[in-house]
Amino acid sequence: MKMQIKEFAELTGVSVRTLHYYDDIGLLKPSEVDEHNGYRYYDESAVERMREIVFYRELDFSLKTIGQILSSPDYNQQQALSRQRQLLLAKKERLERMINVLDGLEKGDAWMNDHAYDKLKNQYAREVRQRWGATEAYRESAERGTDCEKAVSILDAVMEEFAVLCRSGAAPDGESARIQVEKLQQCITDHFYTCTDEILAGLGQLYVADERFRTSIDRHGDGTAAYVSACIKAYFD
């Protein structure tokens, strides 16, 4: 059986654009490409490989890890599955906590009392102003204005995701940690100020050197601040 890319996309439930991308990164190559018109064709073996890809994607594996599992005979599949199971369980715990928070909010509970929120907000603002107040990034933040309550809550969620990775045993220099560091940098840029590499590296040191920051971040789990710092250090190393 030989299918054109559109037929294969309909059969597997994956978009043509995604198939083009999988081809580009070497995750799923067409079984055959017509040298005259460039048409891609797929056979039964491609269907089976796509089933495996979809399975691992459902388990939240990165495309890079899926490629390693499917292509490397030396890759420890069982170890990867065990590690991913721990990560999913940690995510499940986080989702359950989030659901409990939402249940409380629906009943009228406050997300954070005023005193705790003001303390956290002022802590971030003071430290940032002292260290980077003279930079263009800080001036940009001051000029554009920021919804501080929303920004702090979003940053808090990013730190919680770091805690999930930490509890799952994800290596600070691994792919998941790298993606999370990029997410942290983008979060700060989107909601506070332009987070340059220099500022991000400095924050990584601050998170463990400053007891106030360490205590705040470790609310998500003991050692989270040190883990975030290690992830940022590994990102630049």
The pLDDT tens digits for 149-208 are 667 778 888 899 999 999 988 899 988 888 899 889 888 887 777 788 888 898 999 899
For residues 174 and 2, give the distance between their C-alpha atoms in angstroms, rounded to a whole number. Answer: 38
**Cα 8 to the center of its chain, rounded Å:** 30
Predicted TM-score of the model (pTM): 0.47
CA distances 120 to 44, 152, 172, 213, 221, Å, are 57, 8, 26, 9, 17
For residues 3 and 32, give the distance between their C-alpha atoms in angstroms, rounded to a whole number. Answer: 10
What pLDDT digit, counting tens, does each position of 87-129 carry?
677 667 767 776 776 777 677 765 544 444 455 555 555 555 5
Structure confidence at residue 119 (pLDDT): 52
Domains of the chain: 3-71 (1.10.1660.10), 89-236 (1.10.490.50)
